[in-house]
Amino acid sequence: MAIGTLCAAIKTLGQARTNYGYMAIERTQNEFSPSQAPVNANNVDIVEIIHNLADPAILVGTDRKIAAANSAINELFGWGESGLAGQLLDVLIPSSIGQTHPDWVKSFFDRPASRSMSENPMIEGIRKDGSRVQVDISLTPIVQQGEPMALAIVHDTSRTAESYSQRIAELTALTEISNLAKSKLDALDIIDKLARQCRNLIPYDRFVVVTFDREKALAKDWFIAGNKTENDKPWHDYQLSTEQVNEYLTLREPFIVRSSAEHTLLSSMEANVARFNEGYRTLLCTPLIWAGEIIGVINFRSKSASAYNDDSLKVANQISTVAASTIGRSKMTIAQTQADHQRATITSISNSVAQANDVRRIFDSIALQIDEIIPIDRIVLSSLNSDKTGYFVEADWGPSDEQLRPGVTKKLVRYSH
């Protein structure tokens, strides 16, 4: 006759806190016969043991009624003080398996044996409020007061499942970002998709791609997603001082700041100070390194003062690794597109001037084309007098100026070829 212990079985499922010592489990052969369940030889009160377990546990009879439930499982499934005891298992079972579950219970009692249901990673239980929780269940057959019972130890695996799902979502988003580098989409469409994928990784209220031109000492708001501000301007440039350029060049790792004063580069840039004043209380900045050089940064801003943590920095580092190539290539594409557009515009202006009988009649059109490639507030067309001592204003475009309006003659102080 083989002797086992329920305490040993329980220990593998969760630490039992009991003073009863060992409980004998008797069986007549190596495998339980279909009609025979383990026997609680010492007639120990299993219900009291269940109530002393730290892990969520219930005791279920062959009638599928819950004979006992501890406080941990009542809390897990939202039953509070009323408790699960006396309820049918149906209150915990999703409707999708409600019809087949009685057969599974019968099968367990026909062939009682300790088993884990962890091979099924998608087991769900129903809380009292109707919400679902993902669980892992371990079953142990016992006898309570002469009746065969099933002891079920239940573990909440929803956090593990959420972590797994989150990791899958992160890998998917990072893969999508990496694939964008090979995309044939328009450059700004690529960056728009980048911003959408980044939101799946690091939630933000405002997302800005800032590019850096070392030769011109310029930082440019290249792309903005999320909340916009009154002062947002496409392709807005920030002239950088020598100190700011040097600070940019030292950026290599993502960092988090909750006040512009925490970072010398940020505190010296009016735009960054303005964002904090507008209520963006946390900034996560990740540098973009491409071909060994910094080409810009991605700024994630949140209105929450507690947003972002060390895990966010790790994700940001992964984003910057795969995004730098995307942005670097897109930047080159846009630069080439802009250069092509500028050449085409200049050619168009030259042809228009060459073919015009009177340039004054097409001056407004020319001014608009010039404004596309070189932003201007006002432009004046004038002609020199015969002795080159003065000029005559032929046409103007932009805000009026009484000193330089069409028809006005001005004297040149000095003229040289």
Beta bridge pairs of residue 383: 392
Indicate whether 280 pLDDT > 70: yes
CATH code 3.50.50.60 for 161-339: no
Which 3 state secondary structure label does DSSP give 318?
A: helix
Averaged over 238-242, what is the pLDDT?
86
Q: Write down the pLDDT at residue 392.
A: 84
Q: Could you give the residue range(s) of every CATH 3.30.450.40 domain in the chain?
A: 161-339
Q: DSSP string covering 9-39, please?
A: HHHHHS----SS---EEEESSSS--TT---E
CA 282/CA 136 separation, integer angstroms: 38
Hey, what CATH class is 2-156 in?
Answer: alpha beta
Q: pLDDT tens digits for 27-53?
A: 333 344 433 445 454 555 788 888 888
Q: Is 11 exposed, middle or buried (0-12, 13-18, 19+ CB in 10 A)?
A: exposed
Q: pLDDT tens digits for 187-232?
A: 678 888 888 888 888 999 999 999 888 888 888 888 888 887 666 6
Residue 86: which pLDDT band, with cuts at 50, 70 and 90?
Answer: very high
User: What DSSP element (H or E) covers 101?
Assistant: helix 101-110
What tokens were used for 344?
A: 């085409």
Q: Write down the pLDDT at residue 157.
A: 83
Q: pLDDT tens digits for 284-315?
A: 999 999 888 898 999 999 999 999 999 899 88
Averaged over 113-117, what is the pLDDT?
84
**What whole-number percentage of the chain has pLDDT above 90?**
22
Q: Which residues contact residue 223 at a Cβ distance below 8 angstroms, ignoring those fewer than 6 apart?
A: 188, 191, 192, 195, 208, 209
Indicate whether 76 pLDDT > 50: yes
Indicate whether 283 pLDDT > 60: yes
* Averaged confidence pLDDT in the chain: 79
- The amino acid present at 255, given as its one-letter code, is F
Q: Write down the pLDDT at residue 12.
A: 36
CA 274/CA 292 separation, integer angstroms: 31
Averaged over 136-160, what is the pLDDT?
87
Instruction: With beta carbons less than 8 A apart as the criterion, state whether 120 and 139 touch.
Output: no
Which 3 state secondary structure label does DSSP give 229?
A: coil
pTM for the complete prediction? 0.49
The set of long-range contacts for 405-414, using a CB threshold of 8 Å and a minimum separation of 24, is 409/385, 410/382, 412/384, 412/388
Helix, strand, coil shares of the chain, percent, nearest 5, are 40, 25, 35
Q: Write down the pLDDT at residue 204.
A: 94
Indicate whether 412 pLDDT > 50: yes
Q: Could you give the residue range(s) of every CATH 3.30.450.20 domain in the chain?
A: 2-156
